[in-house]
Amino acid sequence: MSTRTDHGGGCACGGVRYAISGPLSAVTVCHCSICRRTSGHFAAMTAVPAAALTLLAEASLTWFRSSEAAERGFCGRCGGNLFWRPRSPDDQTIYVTAGTLDPPTGRRIGGHIFVADRSDYYRIPEDEPQSDGWS
């Protein structure tokens, strides 16, 4: 049985590769302090149902519990920041870092969240939607 793949991606070293079947959400840019500290900047993510993501290579995938509400998946070999997922069993969404998607992605930035937490060395374009919380 073949699996439909609409998007693929992975980390820099290839230790983690994934395929996604189905559509991706617009990219949400998160400026919260945890995203900034785990990515080195803000995090740009696209959401997919967890069931739509298939891991093709996962030998170096490591999960880090970054808060009571979430955990982040990264490559334990190259350090690539790949995923964010809620810890709630009721939320079956996984967020994929947009920079790990193979181009062309067909995505655009849909908005910025937690903008009050952004650092002081960059600006957010005024014409892009902004929120101090989740939406």
Residue 122, in any domain of the structure:
no
- Split into its structural domains, the chain has a count of 1
Q: Residue 89: which pLDDT band, with cuts at 50, 70 and 90?
A: confident
Query: Structure tokens of 48?
Result: 């997919």
Is residue 111 situated within a structural domain? yes
125 in a structural domain:
no
Q: Mean pLDDT in the chain?
A: 93
* pLDDT value at 92 more than 50: yes
Can you give the pLDDT at residue 1?
40
Name the pLDDT band for 2 (thresholds 50, 70, 90).
Answer: very low
The DSSP bridge partners found for residue 54 are: 19
- The verdict on residue 76 lying in a domain is yes
31-74 pLDDT tens trace: 999 999 989 999 999 999 999 999 999 999 999 999 899 999 99
Report yes or no on 133 lying in a domain.
no
Find the domain containing 89 and state its range. 7-117
- Rounded to 10 degrees, the C-alpha dihedral 88/71/59/28 comes to 100
**130, part of any domain:** no
CATH of the domain at 101: 2.170.150.70
